[in-house]
Amino acid sequence: MKTALPFAFACLPICDLAAQLSVEVSAASAVGLASTSPASFVGIPEGADASSLDLQTSGFPSAGARLVVHASSTSPFAATAQIASHTLVVSGDTETGTTPSTGGSPVYGPIELLVRFRTTPGTTGRVAVSFTRNLYPVSSPLATSVVQGRVDMGDDGRFDLTRPSQAVFPVFAGPSGEIVARVVLENHAETSVTLINTSSIVLNYTADPPTTCTITRYGPGCGGAQSNGSSLQLGTWRAIALLGNGNFAGAPAISAFGAHDTGPTLPGGCSLLTDGAAPFALVSDAFGYVSHTVTVPATAAGTIYHQFLSIEPGTLAIRASNGLAISCMQ
């Protein structure tokens, strides 16, 4: 039987061993660029994929606006999303920049993009965010520039970075396996002089290093039941295989996990060596063997306790294995 450990390591009740790290950037709202010299307008609709986007008005590079988005996964444990914008005016009375619309008369303003890192549910890590901008000239009475960027980690309506700076955010991939950030960017210029504005927002996701797990036997079993286990990393997942023998043949069995290594005394004098907060029902084979494989994120850290119990039908006699302390540490 294969099960995902539902507590302590914060894994899902159902785990997908095929999950791989990926990153996607999409338009959270309509994303447009416009320029009045020469008149041109381009855009993509809300929800469109922008992971590999080079959007520019037709007047570029002599005058106009440009938005470049690039997203890539560099390893099973790292991914990057970069969003860069440029506005350029060489001469003339020109207005150019970002617009939250993709048609008609542009209303210059901020555009919004969603960055989604998809990884193994329960994985911990960090996202390093940097926001840089450059304005030339820095100020001019003949130019009006707006170059702004904001990042909302978690897309919860609260902006965590609102000015050019760098920050690192600890993150946790919940049941969806997604780590989401909303990026709001505005690069807008109205000028009659030469002007160049650039900005860049980069999000680098890195999963925490995989943990190392040890499985240690403790406590006495009863009725001849025993257990042992092993751990194997499978990409961003870890599989922990548990095996018990000496159980009643072809009988109901329980694979019991808990956060503590003690429990009440069982009928017949057997000791419960875990609090049994998460029990799983199994059946032993004709030789009294029982196995259970649990999956956890490769970054999962902590200690959990396990014991196999076997119940003889009819008499309801109990056999209990020794305990197993499963400890995974960075």
**In b/e form, how buried is each residue of 165-204, taking b as 16+ CB within 10 angstroms?**
eeeebebebeeebebbbbbbbbbbbbbeebbebbbbbbbb
Asked if pLDDT for residue 10 goes beyond 60, the answer is no
Asked if pLDDT for residue 127 goes beyond 90, the answer is yes
Predicted pLDDT at 192: 65
Predicted pLDDT at 143: 62
Per-residue pLDDT tens over the stretch 250-274: 999 999 999 999 877 887 788 899 9
What is the pTM assigned to this prediction? 0.75
Please report which confidence band the pLDDT of residue 102 belongs to, taking 50, 70 and 90 as the band edges.
confident
Q: Which residue has the higher pLDDT, 281 or 146?
A: 281
Per-residue pLDDT tens over the stretch 135-188: 876 556 556 788 999 999 999 999 999 999 999 999 999 888 899 999 999 998
Asked if pLDDT for residue 45 goes beyond 60, the answer is yes
Across residues 98-123, what is the average pLDDT?
A: 89
Least confidently predicted of 15-24, 52-61, 90-99, 193-202:
15-24
Contact 3, 294 (CB under 8 A): yes
Q: Residue type for 22, please?
A: S
Rounded CA gap, 238 and 232, in Å?
Answer: 6
Averaged pLDDT score across all residues of the chain: 87
Predicted pLDDT at 25: 97
| DSSP secondary structure of 129-148 | EEEEEEEESS--TTEEEEEE
Rounded CA gap, 250 and 284, in Å?
Answer: 5
Q: Which residue has the higher pLDDT, 277 or 204?
A: 204
Least confidently predicted of 96-110, 135-149, 215-229:
135-149
Rounded CA gap, 135 and 248, in Å?
Answer: 77
